Amino acid sequence: MAITSVGEDAHRVDALLDLGKAERLADGVARLSGAQAESMMWACTSGSFVFGPDGARRQVDQVAVAAGVPASSTSIAFADALHYLGIRNIAVAASYPADVAAHFVTFLSASGAVVVAMGSHGIVTAAEVGLLAPDEVVEMVRAADHPDAEAVLVPDTAMHTLSIIERLESAVGKPVLTANAVTVWKGLQLIGPVPRLPGLGTLFRTAR
């Protein structure tokens, strides 16, 4: 894993466009040159979806060329996971301010998803998101849910969710796709069939 450089830790569109610029990603790939990776993920949701579908695809294409292995990103992984599960109607539980969260909605809509509800929580920095307690994340997901949603999506890789996905799904009675979970899933899918992994929710129980 390589942590890419950050100009300003801010959930603000201009700061996120800077976060995901090609030079930062190229530096991250270079620092992983000896890792012998079989796939590579740009593990960031907001630093990819703010570029839009075409821009996000250009990001991962550049990473793939530089790394010499298949690559993707968290935002693209969300869209791919929805297609994989056959889910169209979704709710979004976003930590971001509303204007940033709206970019995620636009990104998902371009992939064919229908966002029936969206909760944004106005958290400005990734550092603050990382301090959210499990109970707070559960309440965020529960508050964002909607009866018409087939799943709830939780963007932001700074949010600690891998250990509580089963709890999140139990809270709303439906699949919950989180940034870190879809990132792991897509990284594995790029190199072959994804194994069933207990404790990581519906996405990792649905093998085919």
Residues in the chain: 208
pLDDT of the residue at 144: 93
How far is the first Cα of the chain from the last one, in angstroms, to the nearest whole number?
28
Domain borders along the chain are 13-75+184-202, 87-178
Q: At what angle do helices 52-67 and 74-85 cross, to 10 degrees?
A: 110
- What b/e readout covers 15-40, taking b as 16+ CB neighbours within 10 angstroms? bbebbbbeebbeebbeebeeeebebb
pLDDT of the residue at 46: 84
pLDDT of the residue at 76: 95
pLDDT in tens, the chain (208 residues): 767 767 666 667 677 667 677 778 777 788 877 778 899 898 888 888 988 999 999 999 999 998 899 999 999 999 999 999 999 999 999 888 888 889 999 999 999 999 999 988 777 677 777 788 999 999 999 999 999 999 999 998 888 999 999 999 999 999 999 999 999 999 999 999 998 888 999 999 986 5
Cα-based distances in Å from 158 to 66, 128, 162: 25, 9, 11
Fold entry, domain 87-178: Rossmann fold (3.40.50)
pLDDT of the residue at 170: 96
